[in-house]
Chain A
């Protein structure tokens, strides 16, 4: 009887330890972020030109970390991701070819500079970039909704007149 009791107590302690570990992992986003081997920066990019969707190609999307280190961009069509996991700025560049912008016909560069404020952040950003021709120039209206693994979220809204066909977006914190 004593042996059975001891075994039961040991099993109970083991179970409690496992449950506590799970609670700690769930409760602390920092641990969650550090343990995750998946890509930490996820982006859903929707590009519109005069109201029509422009299809993006993975090969025209690149990413460079602030130190100049090249990062691989995974995904295609609308959903992209980068490994991330380091504090600092990730510079994502989208090259849009003129032939995709019917009626404008000039190449456009979009810089999405994402500032990763915590190395353990897992972020999910929903980006809508709408380009439109107005008064002979090109306007870019940007809306980005970013959700973090700690439950926080931020919204970025901006409208810019493109200079040298370049749209510069700095967001993330």
Chain B
């Protein structure tokens, strides 16, 4: 009888060990959607991934169709980081006019566990027409982005993103509360990966 009990406890322990191991394996990791070279952000994305998100998956895109396809195929993401060219209210892809067809993007409310960082130029410019607001509507998450400024990458000291216009621009977190109400929280002019958690 005692032996059976021991065996049962051992079985439970084994099951717990295996299950917890599996859970750890499917833990959400950061995902990057990156505009590919030429004139892309390949090296910047690799730097960001190695420095801040080891284990992250990097998805490369060239066209808006690629972007929509990669977006719609995302699964189990911690933070989503988007490194694509952009302007006020639109994203730019290879030889295309400004893209803003957000309705073609699946809603990622249950896919993205953390937040979204949009490193496109002017990502937060234009209030409810901004790319950030529209991506917040498609994810149900806050979108950290540059408002009233382009984004460049510091090539002299490191490859971190930086505001092009620190006088007028700032990093902000834009949210579409309940999918509608526009909320913009100022995060200052210095970029940090931790802005995702603020």
Contact = CB atoms under 8 A, between A and B. Distances in A.
A88 B38 contact: no
Contacts of B157: none
B86 to A, nearest CB: 9
B85 interface: yes
A28 to B, nearest CB: 8
Interface of B: 38-39, 85, 87-88, 92, 94-98, 121-122, 150, 152, 155, 164
A171 B164 contact: no
Given A66-B88, A173-B38, A87 B164 contact: yes
Contacts of B95: 156, 158, 170-171
A109 interface: no
Contacts of B94: 173
B156 to A, nearest CB: 9
A55 B150 CA distance: 37
20 contacts: A86-B150, A87-B121, A87-B152, A89-B92, A89-B98, A113-B97, A115-B85, A115-B92, A117-B39, A118-B39, A119-B152, A119-B164, A154-B38, A158-B95, A168-B97, A170-B96, A170-B97, A172-B39, A173-B85, A173-B92
